Amino acid sequence: MIKADLKTLTVHAAADMLSANEISSLELCNAYIERIEKVDSQVKAFLKLDKNDILKRAADADARRADGKELSPYDGIPIGIKDCIVTEKQTCSCASKLLENVVSPYDSTVVARLKAKGFIPAGRLNMDEFAMGSSCENSAFQKTANPWDLKRVPGGSSGGSAACVAAGEVPVSLGSDTGGSIRQPAAFCGVVGLKPTYGRVSRYGLVAFASSLDQIGPLSHDVLDSAIILDTIGGLDPKDSTSLPEPCTGFADALKDLEDKDLNGVKVGLPKEYFDTEGISEGVRKGLDDTIATLKKLGAEIVEVSLPHTKYAVSVYYVIATAEASANLARFDGVRYGVRKDGGDLIATYFKSRGEGFGDEVQRRILLGTYVLSSGYYDAYYLRAQKVRTLIRRDFEEAAKQCDILLTPVTTAPAFKFGAKSDPLQMYLSDIFTIALNLSGACGISLPAGISEANKIPVAIQFIAPALEEAKLFRIARIFELNRDQKEFAPEL
Ligand code: GLN
């Protein structure tokens, strides 16, 4: 029997239990499956779950361990996968009717690398359709609920990936982040979400939304687990020409024994544009204030910095992301992938398949993207947005000269209720603090920082480091995590 509480059990703690023979992988996976059967009818994080496959892999892991041939300390630990990251012989719908029941013939690079270390891909996780959204309400199939308050959204687009970790249905999961889709749901559900540097993690086998922004990353209970997963999935991949050759290992090892370390000599920058914003809720503000107090107590120096082009980030993002999406989603034509709605002739079949297969938000983005790329408007919108993107990236590079790391909010307020942001523009604006990071290509992590007094749900903060500085990001985040007032975050559910 597993004595640990699944709602807070980390990958590293599970690995310790496995190596001490306190549990087997079969016991661990069975406990998680039982938990899923108990709570997922309410949380609805899973689109699909192949129990037999999980249990077979768990038995294989146990057999390897009994022979002293385990693939890694993590052999036999389950990991949830967002439904836009392909796993061989499993469905990959991107929560879209257009791809319903499509089965992948191959593994994405991240899943292949996880399997090579013995991790067990466990379940397909709900998301906003094609990763477009901030609440999971755009899924064509179901609305995932926030495990802290079932009337609230889990965030999005990786809402299923955040909710299943918070609810203790798996110890860790993968999401994807194009404009905040890992960090924002992590913030809403009280877990840790990492957006690695663009190019750190291969996108081979990730269904593309906006290729120059998309990045896969982990959602976990703590920073150490985040580092363990980045060590596993990151690094050069010949199948993705944008993946970076820099080594991507050793992050987790560098986080051992930080219990009594401080932050003397570390400069933390507060971008004034992120703090001037009106409408930051009381709970989020308190989370930021408490974080600043903890950082100061640890010896860090707090400095003000400026990211002057912040106000353009949302507009630039919605030009570039929709332009890329309109091109990427052109392949879903009812002929090559997924559902086909016969329209009589070829053109009518394209129209009918796309018209009925894609949801409203996806169609809105394709229209917007096609418009900004059209010959009369390309210079005025797309080209101009690319130029402003460069200015936004330079803002981060300039700020990095004045401090080691940035501290910002993740969202203006904690998780909102279903239906609260029915106006698409209001939903777009909710990503104001996460989007610029994707445009810059640098790395960031969102961490729980407290509980909002008003509604008893988590609030979070974001640390941002320059491109390829994950080691620094992890170290500061881990020291903060070990010293913040509240150590663990688990919903009652
Ligand atoms: N919410 C943003 C959008 O709808 C970001 C999504 C994402 O990061 N995948 O585009």
**Per-state percent for the chain, helix, strand, coil, to nearest 5:** 40, 15, 45
Distance of CA 262 to the CA centre of its chain: 28
Atom of ligand 1 nearest to the CA of 210: 9
What residues contact 88, with CB distance under 8 A and at least 6 apart? 104, 105, 106, 107, 111
Please report the pLDDT score of residue 2 as a whole number.
75
Parallel, antiparallel or unpaired: strands 405-409 and 267-271: parallel
Please report the pLDDT score of residue 187 as a whole number.
98
CA of 345 to the centre of ligand 1 (A): 35
- Kindly list the averaged pLDDT for each block of 10 residues, start to end, along the chain of length 493: 87 98 98 98 98 98 98 98 98 97 97 98 98 98 98 98 98 98 98 98 98 98 98 98 97 96 98 87 96 98 97 97 98 91 95 96 98 94 97 98 98 96 90 96 98 94 98 98 95 96
Enter the pTM of the model: 0.98
Please report the pLDDT score of residue 1 as a whole number.
65
Please report the pLDDT score of residue 279 as a whole number.
85
CA of 209 to the centre of ligand 1 (A): 9
Atom of ligand 1 nearest to the CA of 431: 1
Domains of the chain are 11-255 (3.90.1300.10), 267-308+392-483 (no CATH), 315-378 (no CATH)
What residues contact 62, with CB distance under 8 A and at least 6 apart? 24, 25, 26, 76
CA of 179 to the centre of ligand 1 (A): 5
φ, ψ at 429 (rounded to 5°): -70, -20
φ, ψ at 61 (rounded to 5°): -65, -40
Residue in 317, 412, 431 to alter for ligand 1 test, most ligand atoms within 8 A of Cβ: 431
Determine which residue's CA is closest to atom 5 belonging to ligand 1: 179
CA of 426 to the centre of ligand 1 (A): 13
Please report the pLDDT score of residue 43 as a whole number.
98
Catalytic residue among 7, 44, 82, 117: 82
Provide DSSP, 158-177: SHHHHHHHHTTSSSEEEEEE
CA 191 to CA 449: how far, in whole Å? Answer: 10
* Tokens coding 122: 């466990």
CA 70 to CA 457: how far, in whole Å? Answer: 39
Side-chain-side CA neighbours of 109 within 13 Å: the count stands at 21
Please report the pLDDT score of residue 277 as a whole number.
67
Residues with CB under 6 A from ligand 1: 131-134, 157, 177-181, 209, 321, 431
